[in-house]
């Protein structure tokens, strides 16, 4: 799939990063504010998005995973039913639930500092379930270790996904 016609980059993101993200996603990204994490290969792996799309539609996903290789590997974890197992642990472990609740609260706080959406909906099922490991991993990469326990756990299991080089070669 080839990316759509290039748009001017969003403030806070270079033309090269915008082209890399478009190549990773196979389409132009929406509502990108900045690169929130870079893969050790140097390409963006997570972007921070605006709380609303360009047309005003609410977009509660603050951190969006762009690395196509990492997306694929996380999809493999999801296919094994990992989210169900994590959600069961969440229900059985009050300490884990408290940490995950803090991750949710931090996510909302960061998003609302940009633009409040007037909702307690964050992303990925937080704080009561694990619905999307992609969101948990994006949050863990952007916020750093120790914030999103399920993102940290998935990253530890996946290991060094970047070892074979960049996931995309943008044409700029």
Instruction: Find the mean pLDDT for residues 151-167.
Output: 84
For 91: left if phi > 0, alpha if psi spans -120 to 50, otherwise beta; the answer is: alpha
Q: Enumerate the domain spans of the chain.
A: 15-158
Q: How confident is the model at residue 8 (pLDDT cuts 50, 70, 90)?
A: very low
Length of the chain: 172
Q: How confident is the model at residue 162 (pLDDT cuts 50, 70, 90)?
A: confident
What does the pLDDT look like over 54-96, one tens digit per residue? Answer: 999 998 899 999 998 899 999 999 999 999 999 999 999 999 9
What does the pLDDT look like over 17-37, one tens digit per residue? Answer: 999 999 999 998 889 999 999
Instruction: Find the mean pLDDT for residues 43-49.
Output: 95
Q: Rounded to the nearest 5°, which phi and psi values hold at 98?
A: -65, -40
In eight-state DSSP terms, residue 58 is B
Q: How confident is the model at residue 172 (pLDDT cuts 50, 70, 90)?
A: very low
Q: Which pLDDT does position 7 carry in this prediction?
A: 43
Contact assessment for residue 115 and residue 51, using Cβ atoms and an 8 Å cutoff: yes
Q: How confident is the model at residue 10 (pLDDT cuts 50, 70, 90)?
A: low
Q: Which pLDDT does position 4 carry in this prediction?
A: 37
Long-range contacts of 142-147 (CB under 8 A, 24+ apart): 142/36, 142/37, 142/46, 142/48, 142/63, 143/63, 143/103, 143/106, 147/102, 147/103, 147/106
């Amino acid at each position: 799939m080839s990316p759509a016609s290039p748009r001017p980059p969003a403030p806070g993101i270079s033309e090269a990063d915008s082209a890399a993200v478009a190549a990773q996603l196979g389409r132009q990204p929406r509502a990108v504010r900045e690169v929130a994490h870079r893969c050790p290969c140097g390409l963006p792996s997570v972007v921070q998005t605006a709380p609303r799309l360009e047309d005003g539609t609410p977009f509660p996903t603050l951190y969006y995973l762009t690395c196509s290789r990492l997306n694929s590997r996380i999809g493999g974890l999801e296919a094994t039913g990992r989210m169900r197992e994590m959600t069961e642990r969440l229900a059985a472990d009050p300490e884990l639930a408290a940490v995950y609740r803090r991750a949710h609260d931090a996510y909302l706080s960061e998003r609302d500092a940009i633009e409040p959406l007037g909702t307690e909906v964050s992303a990925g099922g937080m704080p009561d379930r694990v619905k999307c490991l992609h969101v948990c991993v994006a949050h863990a990469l952007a916020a750093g270790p120790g914030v999103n326990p399920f993102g940290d756990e998935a990253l530890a299991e996946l290991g060094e996904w970047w070892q074979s080089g960049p996931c995309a070669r943008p044409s700029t």
